[in-house]
Amino acid sequence: MSIRDVLGRIVSHPRINRFQTRLLGQSRLDARLNPVAAHTFEDAPTGTVVDIGGGSARSRQMWPAEWTYYSIDPDSRLLEVESTDKPIKRLVGDAASLPLPDNSADVVLMQCVSHHLDDSIWPVSLSEANRVLKPGGSFIFVDGVWTKRRWLSRVFWKLDAGHYPRTSEQLESAINDKFCVLDTERFALVHHSLIITAKPLSD
């Protein structure tokens, strides 16, 4: 096992993971993501959110309690962490094979997941997100991007459990292949980051 693999195991521990997300500016990211989430339920008192790689489901707070919320994660330890008193359906699963039927979600959220997926799984995960979305549903993608220009960002990518950070061009190209992109927001925290909102191409 490489040193990087050992570090990955360490930072994936729930307590270390929470500390790392705070260091990376999760609260400021949430402030940007909240209005994006709110737009999805403006005229919908109920609905279904699928949070791919959702772990403790800390993003559950962004949707009304009346909405069904699935947190799907391969790490059962993260699923066991309580983050809210709103109801959550917790499922062990991975991005390449979501344990849900076709056309079952009004919203699919993929937050800080893509850098954990190698090049064989990353496009499959987008196909899976598309599969479970209802016609007219919303895909919300959030992640940091790889750039050589920010030394602190490079340090955190070295420590991250995910080994596959991608450039903004790589991420946007892959998403454009599977979805109709409606909006792209670029900003910088520790990492340069993207929030992309999109609809299924069939719409």
Q: Work out the average pLDDT over 94-106.
A: 98
- In this predicted model, which residue has the larger pLDDT, 3 or 40? 40
Locate 185 and state its tokens: 């927001």
pLDDT of the residue at 4: 52
pLDDT of the residue at 148: 75
pLDDT > 70 in the chain, percent: 80
Tell me the three state secondary structure of residue 177.
helix
Predicted confidence band of residue 84 (pLDDT cuts 50, 70, 90): confident
- In this predicted model, which residue has the larger pLDDT, 90 or 147? 90
Question: CA angle, 109 as apex, 54 and 149 as ends, to 5°?
Answer: 90
Q: Which of 78, 37, 76 has its CA nearest to residue 55?
A: 78
Single pTM value for the model: 0.84
Inter-CA distances, 98 with 4, 63, 127, 162, Å = 28, 21, 10, 19
Inter-CA distances, 162 with 84, 86, 101, Å = 25, 29, 27
Is domain 3-200 classified as CATH 3.40.50.150? yes
Q: Work out the average pLDDT over 70-74.
A: 97
How far is the C-alpha of 149 from the C-alpha of 78, rounded, in Å? Answer: 32
Q: For residue 152, how far is the Cα from the chain centroid? A: 22
Q: Reply yes or no on whether the pLDDT at 86 is more than 90.
A: yes
pLDDT of the residue at 188: 83
Average of per-residue pLDDT values in the chain: 86
Predicted confidence band of residue 10 (pLDDT cuts 50, 70, 90): very low
- In this predicted model, which residue has the larger pLDDT, 122 or 165? 122
Sketch the domain layout of the chain as residue ranges: 3-200
- The C-alpha R_g of the chain, in whole angstroms, comes to 16
pLDDT > 90 in the chain, percent: 63
- Tell me the pLDDT tens digit for each residue of 145-193: 988 776 556 666 566 666 899 999 999 999 999 999 999 999 887 778 9
Q: Reply yes or no on whether the pLDDT at 106 is more than 50.
A: yes
